[in-house]
Amino acid sequence: MGNETLGYALSGLHHVQLAIPPGAEDRCRELWVGVLGMTELEKPPALAARGGCWFRSGSLEIHLGVEEDFHPNSKAHPGILVTSIHALAKRLEDNGVGVTWDDNFPGYARFYAFDDLGNRLEFLEPSRKTERG
């Protein structure tokens, strides 16, 4: 049963927010812009005063918000769909970011990585089906 019968539908994900410590914006830009190739967005002035930074690639947005008592999430994480997952893994590794492959998610190739602050990130690509004769 879908939620349409309730008079509404959940239609997608606008953004994921991860926490960062105060003053870590430049370290975050190195990964999200420099390595992953996302575009930094200008935050609205009222929100910019709080620190942090926002990034976009296609319809995916990652918001990084400052927490004074920052502790990285070792379990909670965004699951980011990608194409050419092996090329992404190589790019991360070439830039000093370790990746850990996990084949326990049927239908997807996936790996985990941690940002420079210790936040867990998951990258997934749907597996290609092979025709059997």
CATH number of the domain that residue 120 is part of: 3.10.180.10
The answer to whether residue 1 sits within a structural domain is no
Tokens of residue 120, six digits: 């867990």
Cβ 41 vs Cβ 28: under 8 Å: no
Token output for 82: 């990608």
Contact between 75 and 118 (Cβ < 8 Å): no
- How would residue 132 be classed by pLDDT, with cut points 50, 70 and 90? very low
CA distances, 72 to each of 18, 26, 106 (Å): 9, 17, 27
Asked if residue 52 lies in contact with residue 20, where contact means CB atoms within 8 angstroms, the answer is: yes
Residue 4 pLDDT: 67
Confidence of residue 3 (pLDDT cuts 50, 70, 90): low
Is residue 87 in some structural domain?
yes
Q: What is the arithmetic mean of pLDDT over 9-15?
A: 84
Q: What's the pLDDT score for residue 133?
A: 37
118 contact partners, CB below 8 Å, separation of at least 6:
72, 74
pLDDT tier at 130, thresholds 50, 70, 90: very low
Element (H, E) at 125: strand 120-126
In a domain, 9, yes or no: no
Predicted pLDDT at 54? 97
Place of tokens 């379990």: 75
Residue 59 φ then ψ, to 5°: -95, 0
Residue 3 resides in a domain: no
Distance CA 67, CA 43 (A): 17
8 within domain boundaries: no
Number of domains in the chain: 1
The answer as to whether 69 is a domain residue is: yes
**Tens of pLDDT along 20-38?**
999 999 999 999 999 999 9
Q: Is residue 24 part of a domain?
A: yes
Residue range of the domain that includes 46: 14-126
How does pLDDT run across 47-99, given as a tens digit for each residue? 999 999 999 999 999 999 999 999 998 799 999 999 999 999 999 999 999 99
Q: Does 71 map to a domain?
A: yes
